[in-house]
Structure 1
Amino acid sequence: MSVKITAVAKQLPPYTRETSEILPYVSAWLEGQEPRFKRKVLKIFEGAGVDRRYSIMDAHEVFLNTSFEERNDIYVREIKKLGKQSLVKALDKAQWKATDIDFLITVSCTGIMIPSVDAYLINELKMKQDVVRLPVTEMGCAAGVSGIIYAQHFLKANPGKRAAVIALESPTATFQLQDYSMVNIVSAAIFGDGAACALLSSHEDDSGVTVLDDAMYHFYDATHMMGFKLVNTGLQMILDKDVPEQIAAHFPNIIHPFLEKNNTTIADIDHLIFHPGGKKIVQTVEDLFGGLGKNIDDTKEVLRLYGNMSSVTVLYVLERFMDRKLPKGDLGLLLSFGPGFSAQRVLLEF
């Protein structure tokens, strides 16, 4: 019995602007700051490798001095919509019904809601009353792959079942208007909002990409590197400038033992399906693999078209590969990084 990823579908929020259209808002936000600092910030936005981003709020709303409560209310309202839209789109792709789902995983770290969004989806779509729910709230950018790992373990233990992993994020709802730190500025320059749903199955008759293996890798003494601090104005980003260096230092231990366990090497991997954390992380990963004749072009393209959407982003990259109908037997490596600090890996066979 094998577990397969049957379908992946993305869902974009309603508002979108090119980076060039956002610069006037950034410039107005920086009014009163030193001219040199202002020029530096605008260059960060221009050089972030993100041409366009999508959001649950229009640009002027992002730069309004709304309270944490008001922003979180928008998050709750829009995440419910995006959750339903992405799940329905994925179900249509797989030709499944909402009642076919036995295990419902939702991942998000950019807002707070209790009950979690999965409870609303069960009501909206009249899903099974005994569907198993797992909301994952604190794994950040890694959570998209984490959700697939959790689904794989559930399905491996329960043949003939189906699971949905829904990633929903709005980093723009965490933007801090009174914070002119580099962390707040860099995160605003690289992040965007988005949603995606992956469907997995342990049904013998369902087709898709086979999950061969999965694993998590945890960095010691690195809890300070990435995350959020809950302050009066919302979720304040924590992002250490040494993240790319730490990833590079740990990369051999992240990749090679995992592949060796599966009797393969990086040379055998046909497709690198990586989370685009940001331009520097993308460059770091590219430097590590360029000499091996591998590329992460799809990772870079997703960053350019949508920005980093936290847990959602790697699913946008995965969808691009799945929609290509790749040769049977091709191997793919799914990888994302997140708070903890941790790396999540999944080995796939197309």
Structure 2
Amino acid sequence: MDSRQQSVKIVGVTKELPQFSRETPDIMPLLDGWLVNKDERFKRKVKKIFGNAAVDKRYSIMSPEEVFSATSFEEKNDIYIREVIKLGEKVLDKALKKVQWNATDLDYIITVSCTGIMIPSLDAYLINSLQLRQDVVRLPVTEMGCAAGISAMVYANEFLKANPGKRAAIIAVESPTATFQLDDYSMANVVSAAIFGDGAACALLSSHEEDHGPQIVDTGMYHFYDAEQMMGFSLTNMGLKMILDPAVPDTIAEHFPMIIHPFLEKNALKIEDIDHLIFHPGGKKIVQTVEALFGEMGKNIDNTKEVLRLYGNMSSVTVLYVLERFMERGMQPGDHGLMLSFGPGFSAQRVLLKSPD
């Protein structure tokens, strides 16, 4: 069998943004209304968190006024379903047109979202609205949080390696703003509101000989023991309540050498051989932690910081925005890229890329 036919390539990445957006200064008056009954010290603390989040602008499927209004879980989830379907259809259609594929060219479709609940999942709606083939294989990934964009790439890679000459789409759509809890003044809710935004992305992958793009050299997951409580959602009567342990950055730093070096060594590489760091920006503190660790190795994560600044953390979607920036700017022949994200479990997900020689 032709080895070129077996290699899995990322053919294209596309993004789509929701209709509503606000720059950080424009959110401050809305915070005044939310915090009206709180003492001045707490108000200043919350505004400082928003101001120092390293996020200049956030997009949302709801108007800012809707986000800060007393809507029920059912009402917010209904908006989530409606808007996720719209964004998923738009971003998949845009991605297919970008690489000049037909909808019927897809053999495998993975949809990714953890910020709402819908059954049937998004992929069922996409099969109908874009008229995908009736035998397309579908996989919804719903409970892996921020790591799921890379998780989906791991699953797509396994499918395509086993099935040469096939094509896959990963569609990630997230609305963290739909999980905002109006009556929750915990630091987890405040911090998540400050760093998160909504968005959608689509990555198209292929094991077809005639398709081109950066090749997936290897993938891997790294699971932290006894850390389930560090990140996730608690399902309450008012919706999905954020769980975000302040110890996450330190925990990442502690495990960082084991996450990075053995994975690269398995592929006869060192961190010095990596030309592009395609890292999911969890938030300012995690970015600073990872930037310091990579900085010691002579690397930067400037594109990661820029995506956080422009859009906020869009959960699973965000790393695909970082990947899009690298692909649009062009990787030099033979360049290596390392994709990295962290999510509930607690876990780290990795993908090693190489630009064709």
TM-score range, shorter chain: over 0.9
- Are positions 1:139 and 2:122 aligned together? no
- Are positions 1:87 and 2:113 aligned together? no
Structure 1: stretches of 5+ with no match in the other structure: none
The Cα shift of 1:93 comes to 1.4
The residue identity in structure 1 corresponding to 2:101 is: W
Contact 1:167 1:196 in 2 (8 A): yes
| Superposed counterparts of 1:265-304, under 5 Å | 265-304=270-309
Match of 2:236 among 224, 228, 231: 231
Cα deviation 1:127-159 (Å, max 9, x = unaligned): 000000000000000000000000000000000
Q: Secondary structure at the match of 2:173?
A: strand
Paired with 1:289 and 1:104, the residues of 2 have a C-alpha distance of: 33
Q: Secondary structure at the match of 1:134?
A: strand
Cα deviation 1:160-191 (Å, max 9, x = unaligned): 00000011100000000000000100000000
Q: Which residue in the other structure is 1:7 paired with?
A: 12
Cα deviation 1:73-106 (Å, max 9, x = unaligned): 0000000000011101111111101110000000
Q: Secondary structure at the match of 1:263?
A: coil
Contact 1:15 1:56 in 2 (8 A): yes
Paired with 2:97 and 2:296, the residues of 1 have a C-alpha distance of: 40
Paired with 2:27 and 2:214, the residues of 1 have a C-alpha distance of: 38
The residue identity in structure 2 corresponding to 1:23 is: M
Structure 1 segments of 4 or more deviating over 6 A?
none
| Superposed counterparts of 1:1-350, under 5 Å | 1-350=6-355
Q: Secondary structure at the match of 1:224?
A: helix
Structure 2: stretches of 5+ with no match in the other structure: 1-5
Paired with 1:321 and 1:296, the residues of 2 have a C-alpha distance of: 11
The residue identity in structure 2 corresponding to 1:146 is: S
The Cα shift of 1:291 comes to 2.1
Contact 1:227 1:239 in 2 (8 A): yes
The Cα shift of 1:14 comes to 0.5
The Cα shift of 1:298 comes to 0.3
The residue identity in structure 1 corresponding to 2:136 is: V
Q: Secondary structure at the match of 1:323?
A: helix
Contact 1:27 1:42 in 2 (8 A): no
Q: Secondary structure at the match of 1:347?
A: strand
Q: Mean alpha-carbon deviation: is it higher for 263-272 or for 321-330? A: 321-330
Paired with 1:84 and 1:158, the residues of 2 have a C-alpha distance of: 26
Paired with 1:256 and 1:278, the residues of 2 have a C-alpha distance of: 23
Contact 1:332 1:347 in 2 (8 A): yes
Cα deviation 1:7-40 (Å, max 9, x = unaligned): 0000000001101101110111000101001111
The residue identity in structure 2 corresponding to 1:140 is: G
Q: Secondary structure at the match of 1:99?
A: helix
The residue identity in structure 2 corresponding to 1:117 is: L
Aligned length: 350
Q: Secondary structure at the match of 2:228?
A: coil
Q: Which residue in the other structure is 2:3 paired with?
A: none
Q: Secondary structure at the match of 2:229?
A: coil
Paired with 2:250 and 2:326, the residues of 1 have a C-alpha distance of: 28
Q: Secondary structure at the match of 2:164?
A: coil
Q: Secondary structure at the match of 1:343?
A: strand
Paired with 2:279 and 2:317, the residues of 1 have a C-alpha distance of: 12
TM-score in terms of structure 2 length: 0.98
TM-score in terms of structure 1 length: 1.00
The residue identity in structure 2 corresponding to 1:109 is: C
